[in-house]
Amino acid sequence: MGIESPVHLLFLAAVALIVLGPKRLPELARALGKGMREFREALNGGASEEE
């Protein structure tokens, strides 16, 4: 069982909105996106340096 249904995603989004509030949620999403982008760049940079 995982997050396979859109209903699960909506439930998680509602809980996050209640817990974090509408002001902190965009900041958290922005930080998460930036972290994922940096992680991908680090993986791609490491692969190109080995070649």
Is 27 among the domain residues?
yes
Is 48 among the domain residues?
yes
**Under 8 Å between Cβ of 39 and 47:** no
DSSP structure class, residue 32: H
Rounded to two decimals, the pTM is: 0.57
Is 9 among the domain residues?
no
Is 1 among the domain residues?
no
What residues make up the domain containing 46? Answer: 21-51
* Number of domains comprising the chain: 1
Is 16 among the domain residues?
no
Reply yes or no on whether the pLDDT at 51 is more than 60: no
Is 31 among the domain residues?
yes
Is 40 among the domain residues?
yes
Instruction: Return d(Cα 5, Cα 44) in angstroms, integer.
Output: 31
Is 25 among the domain residues?
yes
Q: Which residues of 3-39 are buried (b: 16+ CB within 10 A; e: fewer)?
A: eeeeeeeeeeeeeeeeeeeeeeeeeeeeeeeeeeeee
Instruction: Return d(Cα 51, Cα 44) in angstroms, integer.
Output: 11
Tens of pLDDT, residues 11-43: 988 998 899 898 898 898 899 999 999 999 999
Q: In this predicted structure, what is the pLDDT of residue 46?
A: 65
